Structure 1
Amino acid sequence: KDMLDVEVWRKDNKKHEELLGTCQVDITALPMKQTNCLELPLEKRPGSLLMLIAVAPCTGVSISDLCVCPLGDPSERQQISQRYCIKNSFWDIKDIGFLQVKVLKAVDLLAADFAGKSDPFCVLELGNDSLQTHTVYKNLNPEWNKVFTFPIKDIHDVLEVTVFDEDGDKPPDFLGKVAIPLLSIRNGKQSCYTLKNKDLERASKGVIYLELDVLFNPVKASIRTFKPREKRFTEENRKFSKKILSRNVDRVKKITMAIWNTIQFLRSCFLWESTVKSVIAFV
Structure 2
Amino acid sequence: MLCWYNFKVFFNRFQFILSNSAKNISQTRMSRKNKVATVTIALIDATIDDKLRFLQCRFRLGVEKCKSKVVKSNSPKVKWQELFNLNMYEDQFMLETTLLDKDGFLGRNLLDLSALEKEKTHQLKLDIEGDVADVKIFILLTISGTPLLNTVTELEDVNNAQKILEVKEENNSTEVGWLSVIVFGAKGLCAQDCYCVLKLINNRLQTHTEYKTCDPSWMKIFTFEITDITSTLEISIVDEKKVEEVGKIYVPLFRIKNGVKVWYALKDHTQRERAKGNNPRILLEMRTSWHLVSVNLFYEFASILSRFFMKVCEITRI
TM range (shorter): 0.5 to 0.7
Query: Which residue of structure 1 aligns with residue 176 of structure 2?
Result: 96
Query: Which residue of structure 2 aligns with residue 108 of structure 1?
Result: 188
When residues 181 and 106 of structure 1 are mapped into structure 2, their CA distance, relative to the original with a 3 A threshold, is: same
In 1, are the aligned partners of 2:258 and 2:286 still within 8 Å (CA)? yes
* Aligned AA (1:175): V
Q: 1:152 deviation in Å? A: 1.4
Matched, 1:24 2:24: no
Q: Summarize deviations over 1:194-223 as a string: whole Å, max 9, x none.
A: 111223222213111111111112321344
Q: Taking every aligned residue pair, what percent have the same amino acid on both sides?
A: 30
- 2:207, 2:275 → 1: CA distance? 20
Query: Which residue of structure 1 aligns with residue 204 of structure 2?
Result: 130
In 2, are the aligned partners of 1:8 and 1:22 still within 8 Å (CA)? no
Q: Secondary structure at the match of 1:123?
A: strand
Query: Which residue of structure 2 aligns with residue 266 of structure 1?
Result: none
- 1:109, 1:52 → 2: CA distance? 36
- 2:222, 2:155 → 1: CA distance? 8
Matched, 1:41 2:129: yes
Q: Secondary structure at the match of 1:220?
A: helix
* Aligned AA (2:201): G
Q: Secondary structure at the match of 1:99?
A: strand
Pairing 1:46-65 to 2, within 5 Å after superposition? 49-50=135-136, 64-65=150-151
- 1:100, 1:8 → 2: CA distance? 34
Q: How many residues align?
A: 189
Q: Summarize deviations over 1:226-274 as a string: whole Å, max 9, x none.
A: 69xxxxxxxxxxxxxxxxxxxxxxxxxxxxxxxxxxxxxxxxxxxxxxx
Query: Which residue of structure 1 aligns with residue 289 of structure 2?
Result: 215
Matched, 1:72 2:146: no
- 1:182, 1:69 → 2: CA distance? 24
- 1:47, 1:149 → 2: CA distance? 38
- 2:193, 2:109 → 1: CA distance? 33
Q: 1:66 deviation in Å? A: 1.4
Q: 1:148 deviation in Å? A: 1.1
- 1:176, 1:12 → 2: CA distance? 32
- 2:224, 2:156 → 1: CA distance? 11
In 1, are the aligned partners of 2:265 and 2:274 still within 8 Å (CA)? yes
Query: Which residue of structure 1 aligns with residue 215 of structure 2?
Result: 141
Q: Summarize deviations over 1:53-110 as a string: whole Å, max 9, x none.
A: 9xxxxxxxxx512136887336x745643653xxx6xx74422212111111111101
In 1, are the aligned partners of 2:108 and 2:128 still within 8 Å (CA)? no
Higher relative contact order, structure no. (Cα contacts within 8 Å, ≥ 6 residues apart): 1
Moved over 4 A (4+): 25-28, 35-39, 45-48, 68-71, 224-227
- 2:273, 2:194 → 1: CA distance? 20
Query: Which residue of structure 1 aligns with residue 87 of structure 2?
Result: none
When residues 38 and 125 of structure 1 are mapped into structure 2, their CA distance, relative to the original with a 3 A threshold, is: closer
Query: Which residue of structure 1 aligns with residue 38 of structure 2?
Result: none
- 2:259, 2:124 → 1: CA distance? 41
* Aligned AA (1:11): K
Query: Which residue of structure 2 aligns with residue 270 of structure 1?
Result: none
- 2:199, 2:155 → 1: CA distance? 19
* Aligned AA (2:269): K
- 1:65, 1:92 → 2: CA distance? 25
Deviates more, 1:156-165 or 1:199-208: 199-208
Q: 1:81 aligns with which of 159, 166, 187?
A: 166
* Aligned AA (2:253): L
Relative to its length, the structure with more strand (as a share) is: 2
* Aligned AA (1:136): E
In 1, are the aligned partners of 2:185 and 2:216 still within 8 Å (CA)? yes
- 2:251, 2:184 → 1: CA distance? 16
- 2:269, 2:240 → 1: CA distance? 17
When residues 157 and 146 of structure 1 are mapped into structure 2, their CA distance, relative to the original with a 3 A threshold, is: same
Q: Summarize deviations over 1:161-208 as a string: whole Å, max 9, x none.
A: 1000112xxx61211111101110001111011111223222213111
* Aligned AA (1:133): T
In 2, are the aligned partners of 1:65 and 1:147 still within 8 Å (CA)? yes
Q: Secondary structure at the match of 1:81?
A: helix
Q: Secondary structure at the match of 1:73?
A: helix
Query: Which residue of structure 1 aligns with residue 237 of structure 2?
Result: 163
In 2, are the aligned partners of 1:99 and 1:214 still within 8 Å (CA)? yes
TM (norm. structure 1) is 0.54
Matched, 1:11 2:69: yes
User: Tell me, which stretches of 5 or more residues in structure 1 are unaligned?
Assistant: 29-34, 54-62, 112-117, 228-283
Query: Which residue of structure 2 aligns with residue 200 of structure 1?
Result: 271
